[in-house]
Amino acid sequence: MNNPFSTDFISTQNAAADQALTADYDALANTLARRNIDIEAIKQQAKNFAVAVPSWGVGTGGTRFARFPGVAEPRNIFEKLDDCAVINQLSQATPTVSPHFPWDVADDMRAVREYGDKLGLGWDAINSNTFQDQSGQPHSYKFGSLTHTDAAVREQAVQHNIDCIEWGKILGSRALTIWVGDGANFPGQQHFSRALERYLDSARSVYRALPDDWQLFLEHKMFEPAFYATVVQDWGTNILCAMELGDKASSLVDLGHHAPNVNIEMIVSRLIQFRKLAGFHFNDSKYGDDDLDSGSINPYQLFLVFNELVDAQHNRVEGFNPAYLLDQSHNVTDPIESLINSAAEVQRSFVKALLIDRDALYGFQDGNDALMASNTLKLAYNTDVSPILAMARMEKGGAIDPISCYRAGHYKAGLVAARPASQNAGSGIV
């Protein structure tokens, strides 16, 4: 396909904004210098920041009620990669893709890897799917997968995860994320501890199939699709499972998978302390697992999560290397725009957290000066780091203003004929 975003096109778009950017960047450099912060060092870290795009996020999502298809939706992994390449080219913050199987299976997985290589895209954690039945599959997951009461169903689910590892090996991925929707809709439906024991048994079989240099990310979620009880429902059960399985297993935090008002940044801190933080599925939410765009509802929470992450980086916590992935559902926006925006919002939280005066904060904590401790965080949070993000993007060949650059390129309009409208207007979470 023809990528409309040539280097020339992006530079022409940037030309309209680069003088203003230089002025804003210089002004911010002065402000930060007064706080003994070297803007160039911060910009360098912004340039090194990366968050993976979920392959499923580039298609238009839906709810239980309906799905309203978007324009020129990608129909297979190759077209999804084309869209991911646009996101990365303009944002310069998403060099990897996190695939979901079997949605992203192709006849020739080597061709998928080569296509990604050609577009400059690498691969992050792969995801298995035992929360849906696939056509031709012998056993149904209606009553569970890795935790099903019937051993034959569990074996089928284990085998799917092993197949995922094989596809991931071809792509060059190094981690498998397991999330199961298994649980119960009625009190009494499921024996809690037996179900968890079955989960552990199945997960051990998957764990044994991991190559030496692979990690197993376990993802918990409080509810949905099970509405009374979910087998791996919270970070407590999650870390217990990760500890049972071994060093290669750790806990993945999806920001939408907690009870309302839970202190997620504190969970992050605990997982870091016990060396069990796998990484994140970033998104935002108001009520439940809303899968809204990162930073759109509660940007302060995202900043506070990054405060913990930057603290771990600052203190050189051994083995600290969390995976950053987006996991969102875009129901009313062009997914490309949402993902560009979201990557920048996650990056923004990271950069703001870098501005926290840690020594001052530790001093206020030790001296029990609650107000000044809070103000130290707020000073960083209230700093507009947009010029750092824009400068980092521009210097890497991306767009100063990626959304207006994307709109000027009319990317999707140019693909309407090649990607006919999807007939799938039914409901669907992803």
**Binding of Mn ion at residue 293 (CB under 5 A)?**
no
The closest of 212, 203, 229, 221 to 175, measured between CA atoms, is 212
Q: How far is residue 102's CA from residue 134's CA, in Å, rounded to a whole number?
A: 8
Measured from the CB of residue 254, what is the shortest distance to Mn ion in angstroms? 4
Instruction: Give dist(CA 347, CA 151) in Å, integer.
Output: 44
Q: Which is nearer to Mn ion, 97 or 389 (CB)?
A: 97
The reply on whether position 291 binds Mn ion by CB under 5 A is no
Residue 184 or 399 with smaller CB distance to ligand PSV: 184
SS3 9: helix
Is the Cβ of residue 92 or residue 283 nearer to Mn ion in the bound state? 283
The residues of the shown chain that bind ligand PSV, judged by CB under 6 A, are 56, 127, 179, 219, 221, 254, 281, 289, 327, 430
Give the shortest CB-177-to-ligand PSV separation in angstroms. Answer: 7
**Nearest to ligand PSV of 221, 352 (CB atom):** 221
Q: Which is nearer to ligand PSV, 99 or 402 (CB)?
A: 99
* Residue nearest ligand PSV by beta-carbon distance: 179
Toward Mn ion, which CB reaches closer, 56 or 381? Answer: 56
Minimum CB separation of residue 178 from Mn ion in Å reads 11
Using CB distances below 5 to 8 A depending on partner kind, what does residue 124 bind out of ligand PSV, Mn ion, none?
none
Q: Work out whether strand 126-127 and strand 183-184 pair parallel, antiparallel, or are unpaired.
A: unpaired
90 near 399, Cβ under 8 Å?
Answer: yes
Q: How far is the CB of 221 from ligand PSV (least distance, A)?
A: 6
Q: Site for Mn ion (CB under 5 A): which residue of 254, 284, 290, 311? A: 254
Residue 314 phi/psi, 5° resolution?
-60, -40
- Determine the Cα–Cα distance for residues 271 and 216; give it in Å rounded to an integer: 15
Residues 164-203 that bind Mn ion (CB under 5 A): none
Per CB under 5 A, which region of 33-41, 71-79, 210-218, 251-259 contacts Mn ion? Answer: 251-259
The CA–CA distances, whole Å, from 275 to 219, 280, 418 equal 16, 14, 47
Of the two residues 56 and 406, which places its CB atom closer to ligand PSV in the complex? 56
CA 121, distance to chain mean position in Å, is 16
Give the three-class secondary structure for 424.
Answer: coil
Which one of ligand PSV, Mn ion, none interacts with residue 306, CB within 5 to 8 A by kind?
Answer: none
Contact pick of 47, 80, 113, 281 for Mn ion (by CB under 5 A): 281
Number of H helices, E strands in the chain: 15, 11
> Quick one: which of 73, 82, 308, 327 contacts Mn ion (CB under 5 A)?
327
Q: From the CB of 219, what's the least distance to Mn ion, in Å? A: 6
- Residue 284 site contact among Mn ion, ligand PSV, none (CB < 5 to 8 Å, cut-off depends on kind): none
Q: What angle do CA 294, 297, 302 make, to 5 degrees?
A: 55
Judged by beta carbon, residue 13 or residue 251, the one nearer ligand PSV is 251
Q: How far is the CB of 174 from ligand PSV (least distance, A)?
A: 18
Nearer to ligand PSV, 61 or 409 (CB): 61
First to last CA, the chain: 26
Q: Which long-range contacts (CB under 8 A, 24 or more apart) does 75-80 make?
A: 75/419, 75/422, 76/106, 77/104, 77/105, 77/106, 77/112, 78/106, 78/112, 78/115, 79/419, 80/55, 80/104
CA 145 centroid distance within chain: 24
DSSP 146: T
Site of interaction with Mn ion (CB under 5 A): 254, 281, 327
